[in-house]
Amino acid sequence: MSEQLILDLADPVAPTFDNFVAGGNAELVAALQGLAAGHGRDTGLLLWGAAGAGKSHLLRATVAAARAHGHGAVLIDAPGMLLATDPELAGRNALVAVDDVDAAGADAQARLFTLFNALQATGGRLVAAGGRPPVRLPLREDLRTRLGWGAVYEVRALADAEKGAALVAWARQRGFGLGAEVIAYLLAHGRRDMAALIATLEALDRHSLATRRPITVPLLRDWLQREAGS
């Protein structure tokens, strides 16, 4: 089987709690796992943090976990997409996750406000993610207040000093080793946010299996150069 066919057959790994490197976010992950399982009484939970910290990953992991528990759940990738959704959204889904909430325009904010109230009335949950804490969200006051009613967590990006150990542990869990020189090269030449680093390792692992070559700096360098030129 050719390398390209192997890579085509290997679908990207879906975001889950298991493949999220928690670092200093262990309490947040536990809260989201409890929410997905149907525990707790708060209607809303808000995540905020810098780009690349893992907010979108966590939203997708929460929706997947809720569905695995048998609960209705839906992901809205951007608040503007609420304008095209079924008005009975809250009635059919116990959990709604909305990404990039601070980009909501006036119409989307009105729809979010209505959705929050509907979920509160039906015992549903709203998990929202944005780039700022509630007090700084550029939203209308009544919506901003509601989003801040429940738990609010900052998604903390790993410090550079933590990333190497986190990547080694992640690779070990998946059955392959990762040398310090590979980590150093990856941090120096690739994107530095954990989502991109994990995606690179997943692809590099598939490339290593397809070519039957161990994961070394030459393999990583060749692969990065090939990707940059594709």
Q: Residue 84 — pLDDT band, cuts 50, 70, 90? A: low
pLDDT score of 95 more than 60: yes
CB atoms within 10 A of CB 10: 15
Supply φ then ψ for residue 101, to 5 degrees.
Answer: -65, -25
Q: Which residues contact 40 (CB under 8 A, 6 or more apart)?
A: 34
What is the chain's mean pLDDT, rounded? 85
pLDDT score of 185 more than 70: yes
Rounded to two decimals, the pTM is 0.76
- Looking at CATH, the fold of the domain delimited by 23-154 is given as Rossmann fold (3.40.50)
Could you state, in order of their start, the residue ranges of all structural domains in the chain? 3-8+159-229, 23-154
Q: Residue 4 — pLDDT band, cuts 50, 70, 90? A: very low
Q: What pLDDT is attached to residue 186? A: 87
Which strands make up the sheet holding 151-154, listed edge to edge?
A: 73-76, 95-98, 125-130, 44-48, 151-154
Q: Are 213 and 219 in contact (CB under 8 A)?
A: yes
Q: Are strands 44-48 and 125-130 parallel, antiparallel or unpaired?
A: parallel
